[in-house]
Amino acid sequence: MPFQPSPWIEVKRVPRKGRGVFARQDIPAGTVFERVPVIVIPAEEVLESADNPVLAHYVFDWGRGTVALALGYGSIYNHSYRPNARYDDEGRQTKIFTALRDIAAGEEITINYNGHEDDLTPVGFEVVENESRSAVLSSAS
């Protein structure tokens, strides 16, 4: 399957968070707005390595002792416990991002890092929901 950049989204700077993914145009609920390849890596090379501590913040659990770095904008979405999008694995090395509800042009697109939009399991950092419904690291405040 060929991969192409998504016309639906763009990356912008977000105060107190760094970068985030935003809708360039209205995205209707149910729309798959990004499909990205992933690079599968042995988990110990990323999670247990002192050489790559930053990379560990950008990977998804892939199972069987591996993690996946999503290309495209896939590893840049910010976390929210009230996300407007979700991610799913599609095929052997592909991840898709789908709108859970209508997303307005200019709105930040967020996902729940736990893999399901209703999962409130702690994500490893303190989450503070802000007015744009996305999460920030409280230590960055």
Going from the first residue of the chain to its last (141 residues), give the mean pLDDT of each consecutive group of 10, the final group possibly shorter: 90 89 98 97 88 84 93 94 95 94 97 84 66 40 29
Q: Which two tokens stand for residue 11?
A: 């990356």
- Name the E strands within the chain: 9-14, 18-23, 32-42, 59-63, 66-70, 78-79, 85-89, 94-99, 108-111, 127-129, 135-137
For the chain, give every domain's residue range. Answer: 9-36+69-116+123-140
The per-residue pLDDT for 126 is: 62
The per-residue pLDDT for 129 is: 65
- The model carries a pTM of 0.84
Q: Count of CB atoms within 10 A of residue 43's CB?
A: 19
Classified by CATH at the fold level, domain 9-36+69-116+123-140 comes out as: Beta-clip-like (2.170.270)
The per-residue pLDDT for 140 is: 34
Q: How far is CA 120 from the centre of its chain?
A: 16
Residue pair 46/65 in contact (Cβ under 8 Å)? The answer is no
